Amino acid sequence: MTPPATTRLEFDEALELFQNPYRRRLLMTLLDHNPEDEADIPGDLATTDDEFDQLIIEMTHTHLPKLEDMGVIDWNRDENVVTKGPDFDDLRPLLELIHNHQDELPDDWL
């Protein structure tokens, strides 16, 4: 039996990306987009007006750089859009599992 192909992301790294709700929402948003689609940041992620300012700071200085460094997204800073990165498909099975069972998860998980 041939062992499964390895991916660039380790499982622990993948779980680390899911530790923050903003990153989870962004990854789930990108799952539903076609590869050529762009996600508007932060418009696709902010749930309340109060969350907006904090979201801008955290996404710009922490979350987007982390996701980009790990190859999961490509981030155009000038236009403030992200697309799926070269290693996004490493996360796809986990994202699809969460997406397919989201109604079974606690509300604050996504």
Tell me if 1 is assigned to some domain: no
Write the pLDDT tens digit of every residue in 27-37.
988 888 755 55
Q: How many domains does the chain contain in total?
A: 1
Q: What is the pTM of this model?
A: 0.74
CATH of the domain at 97: 1.10.10.10
Strands, sheet with 39-40, edge to edge from the N-terminal-most edge strand: 39-40, 81-84, 73-76
Q: Are strands 81-84 and 73-76 parallel, antiparallel or unpaired?
A: antiparallel
Instruction: Enumerate residue ranges in the chain where pLDDT < 70.
Output: 1-7, 34-47, 110
Report pLDDT for 46.
59
Tell me if 109 is assigned to some domain: no
Write the pLDDT tens digit of every residue in 81-96.
888 999 999 999 999 9
What does the block give as tokens for 40? Answer: 């508007």
Tell me if 6 is assigned to some domain: no
Domain that holds residue 94: 11-103
Q: At what angle do helices 21-31 and 88-100 cross, to 10 degrees?
A: 90
